Amino acid sequence: MINKIVASLEEAVADIADGSTILIGGFGGAGMPSALMSALIAQGARELTVVNNNAGNGDTGLAALIGAKQVRKIICSFPRQADSWHFDKAYRAGELELELVPQGTLAERIRAAGAGIGAFFTPTAYGTRLAEGKETRRIGDRDYVLEHPIHADYALIKADRGDRWGNLTYRMTARNFGPIMASAANCTIAQVRETVELGQLDPEAVVTPGIFVKRVVKTGATA
């Protein structure tokens, strides 16, 4: 019997090696897999490359991972926020490499990795500093920049409900990067509020089919 539900957060993240590339779900706090982040901090993997829309908020989740000096590089669209002090400090100290990517290009690069697309032309950032050094092309009446996929070793995401086949649903705008990140990693680990029996998720409303998910861990409503 297939059973992707693992018993503990510790077990879920146990094999994450130093130097891994990790997609981390969430847009600010919404969808941030905080329980998995805490487990990753306890686990201690270092020299990580992390991909998230932001660079951590406050003292929890991704911010805490940066504070614990486990991150070598961050790929994100919007690092600077009022409460991104852990990132700001590490970045200004030169301890953290930053790759800044427009938000839609970030999403599409992740989606491309999951969909087996080798590269794509996007109009976003054409003529700007973020396209410097990149291949460009005029197609029809628009100018485009060539962008490449972001593949990862792991994706850590937060979903709402999950079953033993790894099917997931999300809750409102906490969905954000979860579904595309799930598709782009070799090993996707989802923390869920609730686990349900097979068949309890409406097949028309499953957002992430289990094919994209390797491990599901239940955290309850609080994490």
| Residue list 65-124, contact with a copy of itself (CB under 8 A) | 108, 112, 115-123
Torsion sign, CA atoms 76, 79, 85, 90: positive
Binding-site partner at residue 183 among another protein, a copy of itself, none, CB < 5 to 8 Å by type: another protein
In the complex, the smallest distance separating the C-beta of residue 44 from another protein, rounded to whole angstroms, is 25
Which of 8/173 has CB closer to a copy of itself?
173
Instruction: Tell which residue, 4, 59, 38, has the closest CA to residue 182.
Output: 4
8 A C-beta contact, residue 155 and residue 13: no
Which of 85/120 has CB closer to a copy of itself?
120
Torsion sign, CA atoms 198, 204, 206, 210: positive
Residues 193-222 that bind a copy of itself (CB under 8 A): 202-205, 207
Local structure of residue 201 (DSSP, 8 states): S
Binding-site partner at residue 169 among another protein, a copy of itself, none, CB < 5 to 8 Å by type: a copy of itself
Binding-site partner at residue 120 among another protein, a copy of itself, none, CB < 5 to 8 Å by type: a copy of itself
Amino acid found at 44: G
Integer Cα distance of 94 and 97 in angstroms: 7
Residues 118-177 that bind a copy of itself (CB under 8 A): 118-123, 137, 139-140, 142, 144, 148, 169-172
Binding-site partner at residue 121 among a copy of itself, another protein, none, CB < 5 to 8 Å by type: a copy of itself
Integer Cα distance of 60 and 191 in angstroms: 16
- Does an H or E element contain 76, and which? strand 71-76
Binding region for a copy of itself (CB under 8 A): 108, 112, 115-123, 137, 139-140, 142, 144, 148, 169-172, 202-205, 207
